[in-house]
Amino acid sequence: MRLDKYICDMTDYTRSTVKTILKDKRVRVNGTIVKDSGYKLKENDTVTIDDEEIKYVEYEYYLLNKPSGYLSANDDKRYPCIVDLINSKRKDLFPVGRLDLDTLGAIIITNDGILAHKLISPKYHVNKKYYAKTKENLKENIAEIFSKPMNLGDFITEPCIFEKISDNEAYLTIHEGKFHQVKRMFQYAGSEVETLIRTDFAFLNLNRLDTGEYRHLTEEEITKLKKLTDEKR
Q: Which residues are catalytic?
A: 100
Q: Distance between terminal CA atoms of the chain? A: 36
> Pairing relation of β-strands 161-166 and 204-205?
unpaired
Q: Is 224 helix (H, G, I), strand (E, B) or coil?
A: helix
What are the residues whose beta carbons fall under 8 Å from the beta carbon of 95, sequence distance 6 or more?
72, 73, 74, 82, 83, 107, 108, 109
Question: Rounded distance, CA 74 to CA 82, Å?
Answer: 7
Question: Rounded distance, CA 63 to CA 155, Å?
Answer: 29
Handedness of CA 36, 38, 44, 50 (dihedral sign): positive
User: What are the two backbone dihedrals, phi and then psi, of residue 53, each rounded to the nearest 5 degrees?
Assistant: -70, 135
Helices within 100-218 (DSSP H only): 113-120, 142-146, 181-188
